[in-house]
């Protein structure tokens, strides 16, 4: 079974001062920052609402192409978020994918470390689940909070980030907070398996 070996160094969240309401004025509508051209948008349709992922085909071409093969082949339709790793309040990751289903799972891909791609496991990053470099196939995870200890450094390969959540982090956080089974899972994964799992209806490139 695909698993993650986590060693996460987390810092305390900074204090946030509540904003002061401004006086009523007529202002222009907010401008939404455009998605960089290199990001290919993929929509995960969920019962709780859509999750829009920006896949970085420029920075991580091998890993991004792998994810898009699963999307274009409809191999992620009907799979589930099945794991939630709660590291600390507001920190952790949620995992989804094919779980080695032979009808869905493609061949392993070459590892693209963050030292090569320039990406980092900040809040909302999507990355590859793997047992070791070169074993990643069809399982993926999304980080909640900045988990940069999952980047490659100090001789460690880290994990292969390849994009980020553009919309739907509220859905991701709901999945992280969902109930887990105290008995399901093997080894380090025991107690991290969602019960019930949370189904992805479809995964499609955005029109």
Mean pLDDT of 83-99: 95
Reference 47, options 92, 80, 91; nearest CA is 80
Stated pTM of the model: 0.83
Region of residue 158 (phi > 0: left; psi between -120 and 50: alpha; otherwise: beta) = left
Asked if residue 37 has pLDDT above 80, the reply is no
Which residues in the chain belong to E strands, given as ranges? 39-46, 51-56, 80-88, 91-97, 125-128, 139-144, 161-167, 193-205
Task: Please report the domains of the chain, with CATH numbers, ordered by start residue.
Answer: 39-205 (2.40.100.10)
Asked if residue 48 has pLDDT above 70, the reply is yes
Q: Give the model's confidence band at 36: pLDDT under 50 very low, under 70 low, under 90 confident, else very high.
A: low
pLDDT on residue 69: 98
Asked if residue 190 has pLDDT above 90, the reply is yes
Cβ atoms of 112 and 63 within 8 Å: the answer is: yes
pLDDT tens, position by position, 94-146:
999 999 999 999 999 999 999 999 999 999 999 999 999 999 999 999 999 99
Asked if residue 14 has pLDDT above 60, the reply is no
pLDDT on residue 108: 98
């Amino acid at each position: 079974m695909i698993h993650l070996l986590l060693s996460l160094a987390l810092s305390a969240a900074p204090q946030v001062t509540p904003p002061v309401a401004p006086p009523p004025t007529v202002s222009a509508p907010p401008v939404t920052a455009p998605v960089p051209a290199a990001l290919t948008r993929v929509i995960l349709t969920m019962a709780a609402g859509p999750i829009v992922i920006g896949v970085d085909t420029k920075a991580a071409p091998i890993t991004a192409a792998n994810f898009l093969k699963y999307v274009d082949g409809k191999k992620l339709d009907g799979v589930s978020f099945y794991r939630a790793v709660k590291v600390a309040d507001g920190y952790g990751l949620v995992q989804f994918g094919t779980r080695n289903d032979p009808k869905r799972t493609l061949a392993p891909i070459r590892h693209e470390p963050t030292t090569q791609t320039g990406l980092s496991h900040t809040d909302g990053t999507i990355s590859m689940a793997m047992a070791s470099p070169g074993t990643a196939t069809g399982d993926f995870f999304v980080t909640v909070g900045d988990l940069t200890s999952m980047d490659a450094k100090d001789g460690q390969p880290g994990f292969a980030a390849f994009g980020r959540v553009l919309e739907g982090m509220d859905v991701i956080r709901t999945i992280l907070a969902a109930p887990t089974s105290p008995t399901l899972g093997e080894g380090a994964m025991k107690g991290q398996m969602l019960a019930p799992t949370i189904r992805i209806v479809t995964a499609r490139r955005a029109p």
